[in-house]
Structure 1
Amino acid sequence: MPKKKGLMKQLPLVNEEVSIGDEEFIVSKTNVRGHIIYANRVFMEISLLSEDQLINLNHNIIRHPDMPKGVFKYVWSTIKKGQEFFGYVKNLRSDGRYYWVFANITPEYDQQGNLLGYLSVRRKPPASAIKVIEPIYQQMLSIERQAHSDKDAVDKSLAFLQEELKSQNLDYQDFVINLFHRKS
């Protein structure tokens, strides 16, 4: 199984979704740079990676290429401000298949208020939410592919997302939480 992020990126992608159970939670902790320091059993099972293969690697080892970089810029800007992040993420398994999660990422601090890292808890998202978020992410990816530089790509992609949400009078957090609780 891959030990380096580059090997995961070279996997042949399999257009087949794998779901976590309705009552299962994927839990991981990272240091301040995003390197995994803890992964629970469910995380190892769904990613098909062992603890040894995950520990000390950047959490983006499981990033699916269908995920826009603009989303992760938003993630990092949110959690670096000490705020909680909620959102939908498509992740890559080591067999090339994928899984969607509804993620919650929170900063963790020591008793003196120093940032230790981040705790991420992910659960199965509603299929109705993925039907809404996936076309937005696809449009963001399209914008990223057309840009002239990586920074330009990320900035334009994120601007598109923010404009979409502005038209609905929502911020990203409210938007994704509303999708999670929607019954249709």
Structure 2
Amino acid sequence: MKNKTSIITPRDNEHALQDDEFIVSKTNTQGIITYCNRTFMRISGFSEAELFGKPHNIIRHPDMPRGAFHLLWQRLKSGREFFGYVKNLCKDGSYYWVMANITPDINASGTLVGYYSVRRKPSAQAIRTITDIYQQMHAEEQRVGPQNGPQASVDLLMETCRAQGFDYDHFIMHLDQQ
């Protein structure tokens, strides 16, 4: 399966962030990259010129359910920050996992100008747990079809969180503390 925004073929080779590394990027309100740090360039394999001015989903891995990004945009558009685990695609087809924190970027006059994201290395246990959940979300998206799939998989994710006794934010934070 190929990434919709590129011709990169995923392969089963993981790159991992170091414990003390952070990936930082900024986008405009449409998700177009306006800033990225050197760690982002190094781990993704893309140069600054290849990232700037491109949609952030240039690194979207096909293993990610559409519902995860549906939830991300629901939260951001309502002015809330987003925490979540994301599997990203590298230029060479390999992948890397991050624990992402994405926040609205508001200027001094109170206008939304974009989004700011800081990503760090997630725990191995969090990746194992979220991988299973994302596979279930993918299956739900396939079951209900493309029009209703993203929201149906978000609903499944929220029910999974409730079954564990958490709301979404607390569930995500709990995964990295196991």
The alignment's TM-score, normalised by the length of structure 2, stands at: 0.94
Matched to 2:128, the amino acid is K
Q: What SS does the corresponding residue of 1:151 show, helix, strand or coil?
A: coil
Instruction: Specify which of 37, 48, 52 is matched with residue 40 of structure 1.
Output: 37
Closer, same or farther: CA 110–87 of 1 in aligned 2, 3 Å: same
Task: Provide the rounded CA distance (Å) in 1 between the counterparts of 2:144 and 2:93.
Answer: 27
Between the two proteins, the alignment pairs up a number of residues equal to 176
The residue identity in structure 2 corresponding to 1:73 is: H
**Worse overlay, 124-133 or 155-164:** 155-164
Could you tell me how far 1:41 is from its partner in structure 2? 0.3
Amino acid of the residue matched to residue 124 of structure 1?
K
Q: Partner residue of 2:82? A: 85
Unaligned runs of 5+ in 1: none
Gaps of 5+ in 2: none
Whether the aligned pair in 1 keeps the contact of 2:5 and 2:57 (CA below 8 Å) is no
Aligned alpha-carbon RMSD (Å): 1.3
2:46 pairs with 1:49: yes
Could you tell me the TM-score, scaled by structure 1's length? 0.91
> Which residue in the other structure is 2:111 paired with?
114
The answer to whether the 8 Å contact 2:26/2:116 transfers is yes
Q: Determine what percentage of the aligned residue pairs are the same residue.
A: 48
* Secondary structure at the counterpart of residue 181 of structure 1: coil
